[in-house]
């Protein structure tokens, strides 16, 4: 009973934090298109000339910043976020994200956020917004779930994409021709839908762990699980619309292994070895993530049957993260700190304190961020994002391969 209570508590506390908003002060923004101008003129890799990206903070390159972030995590508006790339840019990391490394590998400029007025969008657009949900705010409200950070759900992002393509590409046939030369990334998105469901059933203030609070947490778990089919339908439905418009290469990522994320592990602080799997992660939370991933892969198989001439790839974020943990020593990470945040506070093994998150007074940054997987207990370091990108798009964990990169000797 005690172990289950801790698991439920972790699910409530930590899911509130995953994919939270990270934004930069306007004065600290960098023009990524200008910095990437050297990539222009290169031959297209596997015929790809543009990337269109949808998602949340795992791939937001500055949209939430321009929307104007409110609520929790306000201390993430500046340094040390972006410290590896000269300053905060709206990315939730010390540096670049997976989407940045993928664009670089394709010889394309880094994706500018859609809300960056006057930016160069000739090689693609990033519609992702930190804090975004797969279901729209109205659908979640009908379930008693409030969306605190942004109304830019996946449906909103998809409509922005349609409006953009109509304005820039022209006719449906011209849009199809452009999409035939593009890579479309649908997520990762959906984690915040679950976060907010847990938030709606949070325990009473004061942290008392009585039967009433336990019951509320249990309700949160049940409601989050009930959301999974609808979240998956939203993601696969968006992918279906994009395929109908002419997309020929679509990537749909799954969820991370939540039980391996430092914020979750710190919230539980479980001492019972039976609560952990062979990788040292909380087994119950990983099962929840896998529930989402299994249903998502079923939906992807249906898309493949409906669109046999298109490539619909599943990006296995879950296993890529686990591989990164297992091979930490081989890839230059500190094996003793694979579940310890680089930037944060706290006396425990995870360097994570909900009240003193990265950037807040009392938090500090580790000396060698490149040796850490977790940046702030929630998001990855630039180095980990690079490793994930390599595992997914060069080592086969996005399957079938959405891009055929030239072989290197």
Residue 174 has φ and ψ, to the nearest 5°, of -65, -35
Query: What φ, ψ does residue 313 adopt, rounded to 5°?
Result: -95, 140
Measure Cα distances from 146 to 223, 264, 348 in Å. Answer: 13, 22, 32
Active site residues: 57, 376, 379
| CA-based nearest residue to 90, from 122, 112, 120, 119 | 112
β-pairing verdict for 50-54 and 182-186: parallel
Structure tokens at 125: 């657009």
Quick one: tokens of 309?
């001439």
Q: Measure CA 108 to chain center.
A: 21
User: What are the φ/ψ torsions at residue 198 (nearest 5 degrees)?
Assistant: -65, -40
Instruction: Give, in order, the Cα–Cα distances in Å from 392 to each of 17, 214, 253.
Output: 25, 39, 10
């Amino acid at each position: 009973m005690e172990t289950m209570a801790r698991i439920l508590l972790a699910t409530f506390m930590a899911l509130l934090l995953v994919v939270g908003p990270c934004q930069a002060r306007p004065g600290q923004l960098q023009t990524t298109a200008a910095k990437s101008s050297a990539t222009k003129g290169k031959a297209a890799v596997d015929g790809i000339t543009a990337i269109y990206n949808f998602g949340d903070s795992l791939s937001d390159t500055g949209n939430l910043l321009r929307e104007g972030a409110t609520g929790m995590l306000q201390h993430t508006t500046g340094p040390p976020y972006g410290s590896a790339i000269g300053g905060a840019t709206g990315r939730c990391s010390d540096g670049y994200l997976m989407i940045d490394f993928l664009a670089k590998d394709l010889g394309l400029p880094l994706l500018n956020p859609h809300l960056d007025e006057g930016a160069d969008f000739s090689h693609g657009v990033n519609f992702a917004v930190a804090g975004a949900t797969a279901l729209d705010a109205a659908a979640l409200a009908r379930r008693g779930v409030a969306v605190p950070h942004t109304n830019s759900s996946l449906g909103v992002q998809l409509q922005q994409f349609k409006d953009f393509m109509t304005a820039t590409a022209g006719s449906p046939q011209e849009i199809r021709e452009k999409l035939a030369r593009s890579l479309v990334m649908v997520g990762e998105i959906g984690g915040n839908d679950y976060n907010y469901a847990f938030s709606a059933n949070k325990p009473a203030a004061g942290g008392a762990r009585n039967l009433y609070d336990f019951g509320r947490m249990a309700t949160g778990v049940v409601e989050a699980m009930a959301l999974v089919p609808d979240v998956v339908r939203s993601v696969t439905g968006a992918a279906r619309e994009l395929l109908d418009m002419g997309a020929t290469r679509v990537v749909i990522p799954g969820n991370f292994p939540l039980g391996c994320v430092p914020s979750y592990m710190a919230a539980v602080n479980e001492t019972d070895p039976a609560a952990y799997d062979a990788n040292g992660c909380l087994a119950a939370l990983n099962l929840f993530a896998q529930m989402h991933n299994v249903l998502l892969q079923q939906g992807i198989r249906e898309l493949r049957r409906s669109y046999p001439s298109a490539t619909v790839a599943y990006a296995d974020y879950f296993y890529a993260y686990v591989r990164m943990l297992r091979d930490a020593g081989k890839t230059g990470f500190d094996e003793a700190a694979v579940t310890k945040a680089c930037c944060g506070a706290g006396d425990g093994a995870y360097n994570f304190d909900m009240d003193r998150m990265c950037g807040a007074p009392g938090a500090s940054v580790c000396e060698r961020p490149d040796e850490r997987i977790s940046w702030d207990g929630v998001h990855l370091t630039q180095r980990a994002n690079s490793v994930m990108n390599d595992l997914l798009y060069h080592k086969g964990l996005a399957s079938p391969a959405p891009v055929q990169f030239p072989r290197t000797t």
